Structure 1
């Protein structure tokens, strides 16, 4: 099996195609990376900036350079000694531009007689395929016929052979599809989609023929040795994730395979999945959490309550999930409820909805993990005792037929309810302390203690040592450095609360949860361009769905939010106050960033570096985190470091690149040092401020945590880190190490130690 020592995630797009990725192969090699990890590379919707909207899985994307450029990228990576990990999307395909997806176009043309009708998850028994693309149902009068196709403004749809003639409206009534008002999609759609995105139609990869057609090209690249690893997007949406991974492993026996599976605290990865681990959101939660001070929780709860921000996490989450089942995924819930036998339709709908709302994890995988299914049923019974009969019937039918359609659909849809309700709604409503509001996060758990971190790291080494670890991805709500600076606030809750009170009185946003999120975001990303902050707050407000949303706009509120960044930064006195506060937390934020990065790069698992984050990166949620990366600047800094420069910890971020480079090079050139895991505990007055561990007898890692509290208590004082006997050297500085932490951390708040000539 080809397990990379590390990966570097690159977001390919028409402006950064295969040729541009090939140009950074030498830089990644010099940085210490083991494999380039690419966003989806198969043909995607025209102009796609991310590639998850695949339209043709049988060819490399022409807008990225096509097959020839893909092969050249593979050649350049091999020359540099790098592997290639590719992100694949088995759950869905884009149908936004029907003609771009030849399979979908054929289905629209021929209906259930299409050779591709079984490729998509369509409920043909409910009549013609409903396409919610019109402004409203009356807009069918605006259809025309152009070049032998039905046209609605820029949209084009096929006309089935033999159905021509008459008005456009008469032709439309003869097709295998019906164009309907877009607002009807959530309630009436008769094909499964990706979350609430009607432009992404679900694909039935549980069918061996569909699997072969959708995976054949990528598997050819694996067989040819061009692709060494696969990252599988959203397996929870599949009918049978375990069966899918077993088939994938059979066809790619030597590939490194990781699943984008979000694990709740304490939830194990299904044992039957033949994968190397997850894509690392669990590691992110643990690594980021150990840099958050639990003592800050009461202060932030008090501030949130004072401002009118809800602090009952589970109540907020349940409300958000119910919004999803009752307003957003109505069609999916009804389709599932119709499968429940001998139960009143409305009672069945409510029972299905309540069960998915109560899921303690994203989904269950019956017959594996029955405890999670049982917990969901129990939670639904507690919330709605009046539905006991319907819930009993649901539980009995699912348990009796764990491979049946009812069990399959409710399990693959529960992940949509949890993700849409929690990540995409609750995390923008429950803004008490936003550093915890991360994909795979647990916002009602304020931080992680050192001993629990050690236990979880040891478990990863024992169970999934080749799992990916990460701190930033294309899906995270904020980048690692934004989160690290935000974590500093947990050490000074009183100071931050006083500042927020002053700032809110002067320029507050008239919606409490967004107001508190905005101030946290402003100090965590300062200095930020007003346009970037404006776009972020607009998305946050719409995702929260409190005062406005993507579909039901409050124009005045959106205008007020859009004006806020310029209003704040144009208020000289307020801006100066914010800037002074940022200076207070900037240095400790850098310390947190270096600490969490060194831990991620050296702890158990395969570390991923998201594009550009080898320097400070204060990004927010997508698309902000897909901005272009200045590789020329990074090459220049790396050259100085390889020449021996020990950069200062300053706004340039060079100190972070030093840490990334030294750790990755050591990991790639001496992999034997990174075996095993044991806690290493400091002793003395400030011991709680040191997180340390060994990976082997000859490698130790030590970092600073809670730096403001450390400084306030008088620094390291007599605190020591008892190192095993022998001469130890700090790889970061090249200097001989000492057990005295004040000396060890004299140059940097982190240390990467090797013993002897190891």
Structure 2
């Protein structure tokens, strides 16, 4: 297996098809990309804008152009020398439009007797499949019959053979499913789902026949050389992730294989998984930490406290996770609790919930990761001594049979509690410093020690050299350039605190967490129009679940939030203040962006460039980050750079394109340079502002904390002692010495190679 030199991520959707992706191959080749990395390509729910709601894993999605267009894309990529990495979704399938999923349709029609009854993780012991699609239970009166289907508005369901006589309600009573009010789903659902989304039903890929039915088509593409890499979505939801990885590796022995496993600080991938690494959120966290000034923590925290924002991170996280176990994933908790022998159901449910809330990582993979399990049990026992007997019983029974149903279901669900409670709730409640509120991140860790970054990079070089690294994905809460600009706030916390205090007094949002997040978002993504900001704030307000939610709306609060962007942007004096402040941090933000990008592109691992981020990109959480990319404009700028143009660092973002182009091209054309890893130390008055490392005949030099650097008088006589030989900066084409003032005079980063560029 030879991993790609790099990947370029595209979001396929009906508006950007296989044919559209084929059209940008020449640009990607000139950019230097090693592979095209595509979002899911299998048939999905009609109109899906992301493709993770797969309905048929045995065919290329027709809305993207189907099999013929997919094969042409693969052919053109091979001809251009680019790999093709495909995102696969083993954990779940979409059932929102039941008839589009032939397996699910057959299960609803035939029940436990269906040939596909075991494909989905359904608890048949509880009888009929509960489908929470009605407005209320009483709406069963609104059902009607259309041929051999039961119809409820746009929803259609099959009628089992021989059960179609009588009224719609009588027919409904004879089916293998029961249509009920949507509010009953969280507490009563009897099939496993993806998080709290009842329209995504979990698939039992641990069964060999299900694995082959869901994977054989993609594995055929791999065997025929059309697909060179696979990215596995959400492995934590699987019953046996390690076993799944071994089956996948057996089916794709030569493919590059990375998993969307989100590692907490200090956590490692299980050693038994035959994969090449994660999809890079760990690298994102490590690189972001370099940009954040720990000295800014106290004033930033004080601002949050003064505005009424909770500042005890662990308390906020605990409450958010408790909300998930008590109100959102109740059905899952009860299903697990029913498996605990000898304990009354309510106590067992409490023990299960408390242990999940206490988990220090997303999940364990018993018997691997037993220390994480033990830590969660100890924390739960200390928090709830009244549940000690139930917690001990849970602990004993899980350890007794780590591959049994109890242990399996607990581990599958703990990841859901952590992800839903932390990423999707806490990160919208604990908004002290939004640059840290990122997938795989820890908002409680304010900045990173430079030595710790180098230790992590060296460990990746030694243990996971083919792991993916990333700065922006379809799942990040904000793009890399927004994050880079927000990191500057840690260097000017007093100025920011004064500004937000004034702005809040003038146009504050009546919910402290959202208020603080809104001002950070406004300056981080500036300039941003009212509609984009409104869409983001609506999602943030509902994800936080403080004043409103996706299901229980506070209409008055939502109207106030929706009006806020127009009110702020329409207030000429306030808008001018915001614009001036954003202008103050814009330049240092650009410096941070170039720093983190060059580090990501040249440090150990396989770097991914998310669509469009080769220029400045100030996107927010999805769906904002799936907006169309102007490839014609990028191709025009790239042509100028290829012709020798050295752009200024300005709003065009061409300087970032230069960095991306040079680094990716070097990775592709001179892979021998990107082996090994050694930290380099700068010397002199500004040494703390330099990050530098050597691969093999290649040196990366980057600037950190640029505001502090400028305030201290710049680099002055700070030097970076270079190994023997003549070193040329590939960004500028100039021969350099170790004097950082000269080396970084044009750009805040340098990419040095020994000898001629």
* Paired position in structure 2 for 1:634: 634
* Paired position in structure 2 for 1:752: 751
* Paired position in structure 2 for 1:117: 117
Report whether the alignment pairs 1:517 with 2:517. yes
* Paired position in structure 2 for 1:660: 660
Aligned-pair distance for 1:174?
0.2
Report whether the alignment pairs 1:387 with 2:381. no
SS at match of 1:119: coil
* Paired position in structure 1 for 2:499: 499
Provide the rounded CA distance (Å) in 1 between the counterparts of 2:459 and 2:431. 31
* TM-score (normalizing by structure 1): 1.00
Aligned-pair distance for 1:568?
0.3
Aligned-pair distance for 1:503?
0.3
Q: Deviations over 1:230-282 (max 9, x none)?
A: 00000000000000000100111000000000000000110000000000000
Report whether the alignment pairs 1:139 with 2:139. yes
Superposition map of 1:409-428 within 5 A? 409-428=409-428
Q: Deviations over 1:405-453 (max 9, x none)?
A: 0000000100000000000000000000000000000110001111110
Contact 1:38 1:87 in 2 (8 A): yes
Provide the rounded CA distance (Å) in 1 between the counterparts of 2:754 and 2:98. 61
Aligned-pair distance for 1:118?
0.3
Superposition map of 1:595-610 within 5 A? 595-610=595-610
**The 10-residue stretch of structure 1 (143-152 or 705-714) with the greater mean CA deviation from structure 2:** 143-152
Aligned-pair distance for 1:369?
1.0
* Paired position in structure 1 for 2:546: 546
Aligned-pair distance for 1:312?
0.5
* Paired position in structure 1 for 2:576: 576
Contact 2:728 2:756 in 1 (8 A): no
* Paired position in structure 2 for 1:722: 721
SS at match of 1:171: helix
Aligned-pair distance for 1:718?
1.1
Provide the rounded CA distance (Å) in 2 between the counterparts of 1:749 and 1:299. 27
* Paired position in structure 2 for 1:377: 377
* Paired position in structure 2 for 1:314: 314
How many pairs were matched up? 757
SS at match of 1:503: helix
Contact 1:2 1:229 in 2 (8 A): no
Superposition map of 1:251-400 within 5 A? 251-400=251-400
* TM-score (normalizing by structure 2): 1.00
Report whether the alignment pairs 1:107 with 2:107. yes
Provide the rounded CA distance (Å) in 2 between the counterparts of 1:556 and 1:382. 41
Superposition map of 1:132-171 within 5 A? 132-171=132-171
Provide the rounded CA distance (Å) in 2 between the counterparts of 1:382 and 1:431. 28
Report whether the alignment pairs 1:210 with 2:185. no
* Paired position in structure 2 for 1:441: 441
Aligned-pair distance for 1:2?
2.9
Report whether the alignment pairs 1:712 with 2:711. yes
Provide the rounded CA distance (Å) in 2 between the counterparts of 1:662 and 1:2. 22
Provide the rounded CA distance (Å) in 1 between the counterparts of 2:246 and 2:477. 31
* Paired position in structure 1 for 2:537: 537
Unmatched 5+ stretches in structure 1:
none
SS at match of 1:48: coil
* Paired position in structure 2 for 1:62: 62
Provide the rounded CA distance (Å) in 2 between the counterparts of 1:158 and 1:452. 58
Provide the rounded CA distance (Å) in 1 between the counterparts of 2:258 and 2:397. 32
Provide the rounded CA distance (Å) in 1 between the counterparts of 2:449 and 2:585. 22
Aligned-pair distance for 1:706?
0.2
SS at match of 2:87: strand
Provide the rounded CA distance (Å) in 2 between the counterparts of 1:485 and 1:108. 51
Provide the rounded CA distance (Å) in 2 between the counterparts of 1:363 and 1:355. 11
Provide the rounded CA distance (Å) in 1 between the counterparts of 2:602 and 2:292. 20
Contact 1:228 1:255 in 2 (8 A): yes
Aligned-pair distance for 1:355?
0.4
SS at match of 1:201: strand
* Paired position in structure 2 for 1:678: 678
* Paired position in structure 2 for 1:701: 700
Provide the rounded CA distance (Å) in 2 between the counterparts of 1:694 and 1:724. 9
Provide the rounded CA distance (Å) in 2 between the counterparts of 1:161 and 1:64. 35
Provide the rounded CA distance (Å) in 2 between the counterparts of 1:755 and 1:119. 56
Provide the rounded CA distance (Å) in 1 between the counterparts of 2:723 and 2:118. 63
Aligned-pair distance for 1:471?
0.0
SS at match of 1:290: helix
Provide the rounded CA distance (Å) in 2 between the counterparts of 1:337 and 1:359. 17
Contact 1:140 1:179 in 2 (8 A): yes
SS at match of 1:352: helix
Report whether the alignment pairs 1:26 with 2:26. yes
Aligned-pair distance for 1:148?
2.2
Aligned-pair distance for 1:757?
3.9
Report whether the alignment pairs 1:190 with 2:201. no
SS at match of 1:523: helix
Q: Deviations over 1:45-94 (max 9, x none)?
A: 00000000000000000110110000000011011110000000000000
* Paired position in structure 1 for 2:560: 560
* Paired position in structure 2 for 1:587: 587
Provide the rounded CA distance (Å) in 1 between the counterparts of 2:91 and 2:583. 46
Provide the rounded CA distance (Å) in 2 between the counterparts of 1:589 and 1:147. 61
* Paired position in structure 2 for 1:618: 618
Aligned-pair distance for 1:659?
0.2
SS at match of 1:324: helix
Provide the rounded CA distance (Å) in 1 between the counterparts of 2:24 and 2:178. 47
Contact 1:2 1:228 in 2 (8 A): no
Provide the rounded CA distance (Å) in 2 between the counterparts of 1:527 and 1:367. 50
Aligned-pair distance for 1:726?
1.5
| Aligned structure 1 segments of 4 or more residues deviating by more than 6 angstroms | none
Contact 1:299 1:494 in 2 (8 A): yes
SS at match of 1:117: coil
Provide the rounded CA distance (Å) in 2 between the counterparts of 1:193 and 1:475. 19
Aligned-pair distance for 1:127?
1.1
Contact 1:701 1:752 in 2 (8 A): yes
Provide the rounded CA distance (Å) in 1 between the counterparts of 2:756 and 2:530. 51
Q: Deviations over 1:508-542 (max 9, x none)?
A: 00000000000000000010011000000000000
Q: Deviations over 1:570-591 (max 9, x none)?
A: 0000000011111110000000
Q: Deviations over 1:169-207 (max 9, x none)?
A: 000000000000000000000000000000000000000
SS at match of 1:453: helix
Contact 1:719 1:740 in 2 (8 A): yes
Contact 1:35 1:85 in 2 (8 A): yes
Contact 1:86 1:229 in 2 (8 A): yes
Provide the rounded CA distance (Å) in 1 between the counterparts of 2:118 and 2:147. 28
Aligned-pair distance for 1:725?
1.8
Provide the rounded CA distance (Å) in 2 between the counterparts of 1:136 and 1:618. 41
Contact 2:465 2:605 in 1 (8 A): yes
Contact 2:150 2:172 in 1 (8 A): yes
SS at match of 1:214: helix
Aligned-pair distance for 1:147?
2.7
* Paired position in structure 2 for 1:14: 14
Aligned-pair distance for 1:113?
0.1
Provide the rounded CA distance (Å) in 2 between the counterparts of 1:129 and 1:599. 50
Provide the rounded CA distance (Å) in 2 between the counterparts of 1:642 and 1:528. 31
* Paired position in structure 1 for 2:740: 741
SS at match of 1:382: helix
